[in-house]
Amino acid sequence: MLFTLIGVGLGFLVALIPGFSSNNLSMLLITYGLISSNYLLAVTNVALEISNSFFEFLLPIIAGIGNEATALVVDSVYARMSEESFRHEMGIIIGGGLVGIIVSLPLLFFAEKIYPIVYSSLNPILGWILLILCIYMIWIERGWKKFFALVIFCLSGLLGLIVKNSGFVATDYYLVPIFIGLYGFSSIISKKYEKIEVINEIGIIEKVRLISIAFLSSLFASLISGMKRGQASALALQLGNITQREEVLFILPAISLAFATLSIFVLFSIGKVRSTLAYDVQQIMGEIYFPQTILFVGVIALSACISAFVLILLAKPLGKLLSKINSKYLKILGFCIGCLLIINFTGIRGMLLAFTATCIGILSSRFHVRSTHLMGVLLLPSIVSMIL
């Protein structure tokens, strides 16, 4: 319980530091042996990753700085929200995250039998399946938007292919300027922002549909080596035709938490690493068995509940603060934070990369192409690596 609380606290702190991921802190804990017991260290890391999956949505909403898992919510930031709207949206994020865990838990009892069979059957063709899904994502656009969507997907995908292993910027941080440019800076420059007052509820039938899409996309992503939450989110939003702000805020945390939970099941059933959470657990524990998996499931559930409670407590004061801040100051804050992050992690070359990514993001906005196609920066390199 104590180390779960410590992990939740660390996850909250990491979420407030732009550019500093939960994986960075996890590696520090592992490398320097700050916690001597392997079990307690693993518990701390699991709680850290799960809590961070809740709290990491705060910074994109407030300042427009997101990672591959949260960048798709950046389109709706910089709008001046009322306190009630902000609290409502925090409630949506909390609900989505908790549901993502709940719908994933039953798979634990079938994972050891199902995953090995499915993985061995689909592994040779997963790259082609992903390619077909991306083609379908583009095809379902209307009219000339098909062509523009293809252009945006290819441009962002080529950017990812060229930069990923080029050494142009630090490999560990090459996505920092790319995502800040694609979603952050491009939104600041090209979007029109209005005060948000309308609060829309998601109906029961729609919630069931969103939950099903979140679970299936997370399950699919958990089978593919190297596939990230952002890629699963892009596929889910585009293929599910999810465009409403409330729906996006619900399904993204659902995917993040479901993917984290399922990655533990994959590690247990077939010994494959599918997330930073699973990687950390494997580094600490090596091979895990059913009793350890049950322990981690308990930690996941407990840390999720604590994180949700903390977000509920923060929603009111943060909502009051944001409702009083003019959107142009949030734009300036987001731009300054983005520039500092890029220079700190990738230097001047990173700024050139961010400029290129920003141009692609602006093109997407001008062509009125959905921002999910910008995730080609992750999807195309994955397809190429799996097929070739």
Tokens of 174: 């090459």
Give me the residues paired with residue 81 across strands. Answer: 196
DSSP string, 11-36: HHHHHTSTT--HHHHHHHHHHTTSS-
Going by C-alpha positions, the residue among 75, 103, 167, 135 that lies closest to residue 304 is 103
Ranges of residues in the chain with a pLDDT under 70 are 18-24, 27, 31-34, 74-82, 191-200, 326-327
pLDDT number for residue 193: 46
pLDDT digits (tens, 9 = 90+) for 320-375: 887 777 667 777 777 888 888 889 888 899 999 999 999 999 998 888 888 889 98
pLDDT number for residue 327: 67
pLDDT number for residue 301: 94
Going by C-alpha positions, the residue among 250, 223, 249, 255 that lies closest to residue 236 is 255
Distance CA(348)–CA(117), nearest Å, equals 48
Question: Alpha helices of the chain — where are they, by DSSP H?
Answer: 2-15, 22-31, 38-55, 58-63, 83-104, 108-122, 126-139, 145-164, 175-179, 186-190, 204-223, 229-239, 245-270, 276-285, 290-323, 327-366, 376-387
pLDDT digits (tens, 9 = 90+) for 72-119: 776 554 455 667 778 888 899 999 999 999 999 988 888 888 888 888
Query: Counting Cβ atoms within 10 Å, is residue 92 exposed (0-12), middle (13-18) or buried (19+)?
Result: buried
Q: How many domains does the chain have?
A: 1
Distance CA(305)–CA(101), nearest Å, equals 11
Distance CA(274)–CA(25), nearest Å, equals 19
pLDDT number for residue 75: 58
Helix, coil or strand: residue 196: strand
For residue 39, the enclosing domain spans 2-387
